[in-house]
Amino acid sequence: MTGKNYDYIITLKHPGYKLADIISFLLCLLTVIFFTYFLVMGAEKPAPYIITIAVIVVQFIINYFKKKQGKKINHNYAFSICFIAWLTIPYRNWLLAVLYLTALVAETQVKFPYEIGVNEEGIIINSFPKKNFNWADFVNVLIKENMLTIDFKNNRILQKETESEVPAELEKEFNEFCKKRITSGKNNFSAA
Taking the C-alpha atoms of residue 100 and residue 81, their distance in angstroms, rounded to an integer, is: 9
Mean pLDDT (the chain, rounded): 87
The pLDDT-based confidence of 191 (bands split at 50, 70, 90) is very low
Q: Say which DSSP state 137 is in.
A: G
Whether the model clears a pTM of 0.75, i.e. scores above it, the answer is no
Q: How many CA atoms lie within 13 A of 145 on its CB side?
A: 1
Look at the alpha carbons of 22, 24, 25, 27 in this order and tell me if their dihedral is positive or negative: positive
* DSSP codes, 160-190: EEBSSPPPHHHHHHHHHHHHHHHHHHHHHHH
The closest alpha carbon to 175, from 7, 13, 4, 5, belongs to 7
pLDDT of residue 3: 45
Taking the C-alpha atoms of residue 75 and residue 134, their distance in angstroms, rounded to an integer, is: 37
Taking the C-alpha atoms of residue 115 and residue 10, their distance in angstroms, rounded to an integer, is: 5
Residue 35 has pLDDT above 60, yes or no: yes
Q: What tens digit of pLDDT does each residue of 100-152 get?
A: 999 999 888 888 778 889 998 889 888 767 888 999 899 999 999 999 999 99
